[in-house]
Amino acid sequence: MSNEIFNLVKSIVGAGVLSLPAGIAAFGNAPSAVIPAVTLITVIGAISAYGFSLIGRVCATTEASSYREAWDKTVGTKSSWITAFSSTFSCVAANLAYSMILADTFQNLLATIGIKLSREQTLFGVTGLVLVPLCLLKDLSSLAPFSLLGILGMAYTAIAMGVRFFGGDYREGGRFFKEMVVANGSSSSGSSSKPFFGNKGAMSVFSPNTFILISMLSTAFMVSF
């Protein structure tokens, strides 16, 4: 059970950490946009939790060990291919999404040590050398220690960000303010490093771009299925 918990938490929280900032920025650029974003996270999380509970109760009642078997015993065998197809499609789509994210990440990391690869080369390399072998594993419990390490890493990052935020290190007069913003309002590299806030706040949640955040949340929670 502990192995499953570590893997699930890392999958959900990891996907959320990677996507939430971009998802919120897609429809808002003011601090008040966080309010509807947190509401959406809570609502979609509650719906997902109810779905997990419902599937577990159905499997326990019917003594089924898979989605398809539970569907066979509750709805019928003729349409059980729907669950098999949707589960397969979900895994394929999630792997594709993570392949793209990892390719961009590794491309930037390799560039810092002087190795320049195209996005396509990095994508095929990460997918073939890392993701495919992991997908061939029949038991994911061996990944639990790495999931725990990832959770600890995210916790450390969150604590470090909290210390810097509440300590005011990046505010005007803080110890890192001068390194972040120089006299002309830009960093030494010529691009502004000071956070910029606009006027798209809580009401911007009614923009169609909100569906970008909803899609990201759905993907993050769906990975745990």
Q: Look at 63 and 224; give whichever has higher pLDDT.
A: 63
Task: Give the integer Cα–Cα distance in Å for 166 and 35.
Answer: 20
189 has pLDDT over 60:
no
Report if residue 196 sits inside a domain: no
- Tens of pLDDT, residue by residue over 123-142, are 888 888 888 888 888 877 78
Which residues have C-beta within 8 Å of that of residue 102, sequence separation ≥ 6? 126, 130, 131
The pair phi, psi for residue 14, each rounded to 5°, is: -60, -45
Domain range for 182? 2-190+208-222
Total domains present in the chain: 1
Q: Look at 121 and 140; give whichever has higher pLDDT.
A: 121
- Helices vs strands, H then E, count in the chain: 9, 0
pLDDT of residue 187: 45
Report if residue 199 sits inside a domain: no
Report if residue 200 sits inside a domain: no
Query: Would you put residue 218 in left (φ > 0), alpha (ψ -120 to 50) or beta?
Result: alpha
186 has pLDDT over 70:
no
Task: Give the integer Cα–Cα distance in Å for 147 and 153.
Answer: 10
Report if residue 59 sits inside a domain: yes
Report if residue 76 sits inside a domain: yes
Task: Give the integer Cα–Cα distance in Å for 102 and 108.
Answer: 10
Q: Which amino acid is present at 15? A: A
Whole-number mean pLDDT of the chain? 82
- Tens of pLDDT, residue by residue over 10-56, are 777 766 676 788 889 889 988 899 999 999 989 988 998 898 888 88
Q: Look at 122 and 188; give whichever has higher pLDDT.
A: 122
Report if residue 198 sits inside a domain: no
Report if residue 90 sits inside a domain: yes
110 within 8 A of 116, measured Cβ to Cβ? yes
Report if residue 118 sits inside a domain: yes
Q: Look at 3 and 211; give whichever has higher pLDDT.
A: 211
pLDDT of residue 184: 43
The winner for highest mean pLDDT among 1-5, 6-10, 36-40, 194-198 is 36-40
DSSP string covering 185-215, please? SS-TTSS--S----S--GGGGGSTTHHHHHH
